Structure 1
């Protein structure tokens, strides 16, 4: 029984010594070099956080992703081909929301020609630039459709934004 007590005391002594040593090291580094940061300040109120979030968004916003645009349409690059789609070929544009349990994802289904379509989501590179060009080509599409379909929660909220010869507004 006394052997166990000695081992526990010995272990506790080492743990205390290591904790004190590491804590002292942190204190001394901060004392002799005050601007040192162990971790960047992640709080949303910090200027560094705000600037990083702003630059990240600007980079994402200006990204064209797989798209390149012309007045009469756009190219979309896939791993197999580079396809040109004219704005006049688009038959229907449908916006909807996917529920990922903890978050939602805004999606846009672009149907062109009789049986061809592609889908782009807010998570894809080029989303913002594609929406900007889409609003230029189809000015009748409500500007904030992507915000409108976010409610109610947990619903798909399928919305036809444009249909050739018909224009639907989100509810």
Structure 2
């Protein structure tokens, strides 16, 4: 059976409200995140040998890290919601890290404390 292609307006695994979002796990449980609780966001590529997968790590004020990738249902809509609610994330960040192929290209997309890439990497990773 062929899986239906998800449209860019499909919320997928996400539920949104004015203060943040919830992410539904494969078991159906929800984990909630507040926009104001997001401290830093990195975008990068993962080399899967024959292709690359676009991913992001979201670090929150409770010292947790949420890792998402482009295969997650609702990815496109989530990126739109990030731009609306965080505001500083480039519309074309995915294109910016897409080349060259198979290079991780870890990129700081957002940092609430206005730190540079090296400072945030040192604290988060």
Residue 85 of structure 1 corresponds to: 33
* Residue of 71, 88, 94 corresponding to 2:18: 71
- TM value normalised by structure 2: 0.81
1:159 and 2:87 are equivalent in the alignment: no
**Which structure features the higher share of helix residues?**
1
Higher relative contact order (CA 8 A, sep 6+): 2
Aligned length: 113
- TM value normalised by structure 1: 0.60
* Residue of 65, 75, 90 corresponding to 1:127: 75
Query: Distance between the aligned counterparts of 1:81 and 1:112, measured in 2?
Result: 19
Q: Which has the larger radius of gyration?
A: 1
Could you tell which deviates more after superposition, 109-118 or 95-104? 109-118
**Which structure features the higher share of strand residues?**
2
**Structure 2 unaligned spans of 5+:** 118-125
**Structure 1 unaligned spans of 5+:** 1-54
**TM-align CA RMSD:** 2.0
Residue 97 of structure 1 corresponds to: 45
Query: Distance between the aligned counterparts of 1:146 and 1:118, measured in 2?
Result: 18
